[in-house]
Chain A
Amino acid sequence: MTTATVQTPDQLVVEHVVTRVPVSRAQRLGAGLALVFIGLVTIWRFGVDGHHHLDASIRLGALNADHVPHFTVPATPVAYVAGGVTALLGVLWLLAPRRRFFGLVMGVGIFLFVAALLCWLASASSFSTVDVVGLLNSGIALAVPLILGALCGVMCERSAVINVAIEGQMLAGAFASALIGSLVGITAGMLAGAFAGALIGAILAVFAIRYLVNQVVLGVVLNVFAAGLTGFLYDVFMQPHTDTLNTTPLMELHKVPLLGDIPVLGPLLFDTYTIVYITYVLIIAVDVWLFRTRWGLRTRAVGEHPRAADTVGIRVLAMRYRNVILGGAIAGLGGAYFIFSVGQFQKNITSGQGFIALAALIFGRWSPRGAVGAALLFGFASAMQVTLSINAPSIPSNVVAMVPYLATILAVAGLVGKVRAPAADGEPYVKG
């Protein structure tokens, strides 16, 4: 649906024109052929070439836990059905694409592919089994820092400051939380991580807003700076005193009284770490903040049309400072998550997760919900990669690891609909 505004010289006529948005040729062909391809691969790899005569054993819980729902499904028929439906969806999309159903169609296609893949894994031998809940659990665990990084990106880029330095902010946060976490404790460590992330955010803000430095250059340089500084300090201080300065307590699971007892969702979502609960709160807070509060409205105005915002009295630069520094704190918390899940800092511990967070932000079209969805998708893809590298060496796990990046390239290339950044993103604002 679109709203077209037509202005005539005499009077202002606002006309609502309801049209069915045509699907671009690239999207029609790209998505359709991709679905057909995925369907055929499913049929061939997991059906024709699959493990015949073996049933897939699927569990909804760990192997050693009691009362775990457990069922078996015939693996090859599932693959045939899933592949057939996916290919059919692809053909339908090629014949009659509807923009409204795009997400649904792609989601169903990917879900069926993953389902067939899991059944194939679970039927590799008579002993093999797949724990779906465990897989989802590790997917969420891998997604949490991505979610925090992507939320940082939302905060910054919605107010028109490009943040390529999410990686650096996470790394700085990780270092600070390892140091303070070892000396004081987890809570202080988390605060220190957020503070360090905010500090890098503040450098980004000052150079981008006050000194008008190109923001992509700045982000790249800050990543190098954070990697160099934390590496240097690690060698000088942490390495010689690992026991006192680089051994943090680990996070503990906290169960929410009632919600934690829900059969499958409970252990998945409500029996987890404090940072994850904070993440839930942040997801809701950022979404509400951006779309339901005055501050959020002003942030969006600053991001789309700073001059107009300035004209109506919004303090553009103050808005940007505030949001970039707060965003940095969120990314720093993401860095703390790395530390408190393994208990110590290592050089370059974030290993490119900040860039996946950036990818999630873009893939999620600069909206909090989209970014969180994309981060979950990417986290789940990494979990699949880990599972595959252990259970199915015949599938190259490195190729699976490319999926988030390829998906993002396809997204910005317009194959999955229009991806548009906030209009003023990356442009410094100079009054006058």
Chain B
Amino acid sequence: MSEQTADPAADPQAALTTPEGGEERPRGFWARYARASSLVVTLLAFVTAMVLGGILIAVADPQTQDASHYFFQYPWDTFHYGFAAIWRGYVALFQGAIFNPHTASKGTLAGYLGPISETVTNATPLILAGLSVGLAFRAGLFNIGGQGQVIMGAVCAGFVGFHWDLPPGLHLLLGIIAGALGGAAWGGLAGFLKAKTGAHEVITTIMLNYVAFFFLAYLLTAKGFQQSGSGQAISYQVHGSAQLPPLLGDSLRVHSGIFLALLAAWFVHWLLTRSTLGFRLRAVGANPFASRTAGMNVENSYITVMLIAGGLCGLAGVSQILGTNSRITGDIDAGIGFDGITVALLGRASPKGIVAAGLLFGALHAGGTQMQSSTGTPVDLVQVIQSLIVLFIAAPMLVRAMYRLKGSAAGVSGAALAKGWNG
């Protein structure tokens, strides 16, 4: 969508970093750099987070640790080993996420496309959850309940997947619909409570996360859901007819859920820019009081947007249970609900940005796993990098100050994203 249609409340950085019109254009690279756009801030946030992550890698490296004992006699060793460790770590990250020459030299399809397959597999639910959070942002709501909605989506889709016997296409379709409805019900509940009683959606969605978590834990010990005969907390297996077909054969994990995610991104884009409902949602997000005065039904909008947002998270659950995994376990949500928040923030709540951000974080997750197995750097590093990126993006003033960027001093609109508990 164009920058003009983006409302300042849901997209604060876009609003505050758009150069003031009518002034003379800055000349020269550095001048332009200094009046950086939000894209530059995003890039710098990414670079800064990677640098800080690199320091952690160096600290974790045993050789560097040994060399640091004689740092004051011979500091070069510490730096040498440190940089070597960082280089190894990030090369492994790249190899796990994009292209690995060692496996590609085998000449098989899996060797060439394995890393990309992992990236896309990881990115699919992240994009869907990011869309959910982003859409709610645009309507002025903070959907922090991704975890619960993903769980409910996975539970409903999984239930259809392993209990019903249907012909292949229909079974998958019903599974997807069931998942979306499960998530929508859970999200819609928070929207309903907000609309009817004024309960803040952040509080209710956090609480609903835990209710869903314990509900799943209960189901995984319940008859008819738990794999009979197994003492483990694991569900039945989803029938083959309900699984999202793999894209590149059975040797690679990537599945057609990515099309579901892209379709959802297109739908959200259409909804926000081309539909009356989307206009209403954005208006309510920008200013609920003005929208009410203009005759819009604010309460109804809250319920609608939370239904759709929940449905999108439900689809993330579908991708988890009908695509990536085939059995429900206690950690089926795999942190996707909370990662979705970071994806939506990095993507600045626009569908295109969310797809890009989802792919980036998917790549980080895929690469992090490879990094752990080949260099021993714990995969938790990815979580640190991810949170640092979002922290810097959420605080553009800090990034500007660090890199001596000029820009509007105002960062006030960053707070307009979601108000306090009473708002």
Residue positions of A touching B, CB distance < 8 A: 26, 160, 162, 164, 207, 211-218, 220-225, 227-229, 231-232, 235-236, 347, 352, 355, 358-359, 362, 396, 398-399, 401-402, 405-406, 408-409, 412-414, 420-421, 423-428, 430
**How far, in Å, is A410 (CB) from chain B's closest CB?**
9
Smallest CB-CB separation from B199: which chain A residue? A412
Known: A221-B390, A231-B380, A402-B211. A408 touches B398 (CB 8 A): no
Known: A214-B418, A224-B342, A421-B420. A413 touches B387 (CB 8 A): no
**How far, in Å, is A6 (CB) from chain B's closest CB?**
24
Q: Would A212 and B411 count as touching, CB distance under 8 A? A: yes
Q: Would B414 and A213 count as touching, CB distance under 8 A? A: yes
The contact of A220 among B59, B144, B384, by CB within 8 Å, is B144
A221 proximity list for chain B (CB < 8 A): 341-342, 387, 390-391, 394
Bound Cα distance A213, B411 (Å): 8
The contact of A412 among B200, B338, B388, B398, by CB within 8 Å, is B200
Bound Cα distance A45, B415 (Å): 50
Q: List 17 A-B contacts (CB under 8 A).
A: A213-B394, A217-B418, A218-B391, A218-B394, A221-B390, A222-B391, A223-B338, A225-B383, A235-B378, A347-B380, A355-B206, A358-B206, A402-B215, A405-B214, A409-B199, A413-B199, A428-B415
Q: Would A236 and B378 count as touching, CB distance under 8 A? A: yes
Known: A213-B394, A217-B417, A409-B204. A401 touches B214 (CB 8 A): yes
Smallest CB-CB separation from A230: which chain B residue? B380
Q: Would A232 and B394 count as touching, CB distance under 8 A? A: no
Q: Would A425 and B414 count as touching, CB distance under 8 A? A: no
Q: Would A398 and B215 count as touching, CB distance under 8 A? A: yes
Q: Would A235 and B380 count as touching, CB distance under 8 A? A: yes
A215 proximity list for chain B (CB < 8 A): 420
B199 proximity list for chain A (CB < 8 A): 409, 412-414
**How far, in Å, is B335 (CB) from chain A's closest CB?**
8
Bound Cα distance A216, B203 (Å): 10
Interface string of B409-423 (1 = CB under 8 A from A): 001101101111111
Q: Would B422 and A420 count as touching, CB distance under 8 A? A: yes
A217 proximity list for chain B (CB < 8 A): 142, 341, 345, 390, 394, 417-418
Q: Would B214 and A399 count as touching, CB distance under 8 A? A: yes
**How far, in Å, is A386 (CB) from chain B's closest CB?**
14
Q: Would B386 and A228 count as touching, CB distance under 8 A? A: yes
**How far, in Å, is A214 (CB) from chain B's closest CB?**
5
Q: Is B198 on the interface with A (CB-CB < 8 A)?
A: yes
Q: Is B248 on the interface with A (CB-CB < 8 A)?
A: no
Known: A225-B391, A232-B384, A409-B193. A427 touches B415 (CB 8 A): yes
**How far, in Å, is B233 (CB) from chain A's closest CB?**
10
Known: A162-B420, A214-B418, A236-B378. A396 touches B206 (CB 8 A): no
- Which B369-423 residues have a C-beta within 8 angstroms of A? 378, 380-384, 386-388, 390-391, 394-395, 397-398, 411-412, 414-415, 417-423
A211 proximity list for chain B (CB < 8 A): 394-395, 397-398, 411, 414
**How far, in Å, is B73 (CB) from chain A's closest CB?**
24
Supplied contacts A207-B398, A405-B208, A409-B193, 17 more A-B pairs, CB within 8 Å: A217-B142, A217-B394, A221-B391, A228-B380, A231-B380, A235-B380, A359-B206, A362-B203, A398-B215, A409-B211, A412-B200, A413-B199, A414-B198, A414-B199, A424-B420, A425-B420, A426-B419
Q: Would A212 and B420 count as touching, CB distance under 8 A? A: no
Q: Is B56 on the interface with A (CB-CB < 8 A)?
A: yes
Query: Total contacts A to B, CB within 8 angstroms?
Result: 168
Q: Is B266 on the interface with A (CB-CB < 8 A)?
A: no
Q: Would B422 and A232 count as touching, CB distance under 8 A? A: no
**How far, in Å, is A379 (CB) from chain B's closest CB?**
16
The contact of B415 among A214, A355, A396, A412, by CB within 8 Å, is A214
Q: Is B36 on the interface with A (CB-CB < 8 A)?
A: no
Residue positions of B touching A, CB distance < 8 A: 56, 59-60, 142, 144, 193, 197-200, 202-204, 206-208, 210-211, 214-215, 217-218, 221-222, 338, 341-342, 345, 378, 380-384, 386-388, 390-391, 394-395, 397-398, 411-412, 414-415, 417-423
Bound Cα distance A220, B144 (Å): 9
A414 proximity list for chain B (CB < 8 A): 197-199
A430 proximity list for chain B (CB < 8 A): 412
B222 proximity list for chain A (CB < 8 A): 396
Q: Would B391 and A423 count as touching, CB distance under 8 A? A: no
Q: Would A220 and B422 count as touching, CB distance under 8 A? A: no
A398 proximity list for chain B (CB < 8 A): 214-215, 217-218, 221
B221 proximity list for chain A (CB < 8 A): 396, 398
The contact of B387 among A224, A362, A408, A412, by CB within 8 Å, is A224
**How far, in Å, is B88 (CB) from chain A's closest CB?**
15
Most buried by A among B59, B198, B391, B418: B391
A408 proximity list for chain B (CB < 8 A): 203, 207
Q: Would A229 and B384 count as touching, CB distance under 8 A? A: yes
Known: A207-B394, A231-B378. A412 touches B386 (CB 8 A): no
Q: Would B218 and A396 count as touching, CB distance under 8 A? A: yes
Most buried by B among A164, A355, A358, A413: A413
Q: Would A427 and B386 count as touching, CB distance under 8 A? A: no
Smallest CB-CB separation from B56: which chain A residue? A232
B394 proximity list for chain A (CB < 8 A): 207, 211, 213-214, 217-218, 221
A425 proximity list for chain B (CB < 8 A): 420-422
Bound Cα distance A104, B222 (Å): 37
A212 proximity list for chain B (CB < 8 A): 397, 411-412, 414-415
Q: Would B378 and A162 count as touching, CB distance under 8 A? A: no
Known: A228-B382, A358-B206, A412-B203. A220 touches B395 (CB 8 A): no
Smallest CB-CB separation from A355: which chain B residue? B206
Q: Would A220 and B417 count as touching, CB distance under 8 A? A: no
**How far, in Å, is B213 (CB) from chain A's closest CB?**
8
B397 proximity list for chain A (CB < 8 A): 211-212
B422 proximity list for chain A (CB < 8 A): 420-421, 423, 425
**How far, in Å, is A234 (CB) from chain B's closest CB?**
8
A236 proximity list for chain B (CB < 8 A): 59-60, 378
Bound Cα distance A358, B423 (Å): 18
Bound Cα distance A135, B387 (Å): 40
A413 proximity list for chain B (CB < 8 A): 193, 197, 199, 204
A355 proximity list for chain B (CB < 8 A): 206, 210
Smallest CB-CB separation from A208: which chain B residue? B415
Bound Cα distance A358, B207 (Å): 10
Bound Cα distance A13, B221 (Å): 65
Q: Would B207 and A359 count as touching, CB distance under 8 A? A: yes
Known: A402-B214, A405-B207. A225 touches B387 (CB 8 A): yes
Most buried by A among B386, B395, B412: B395
B412 proximity list for chain A (CB < 8 A): 212, 428, 430
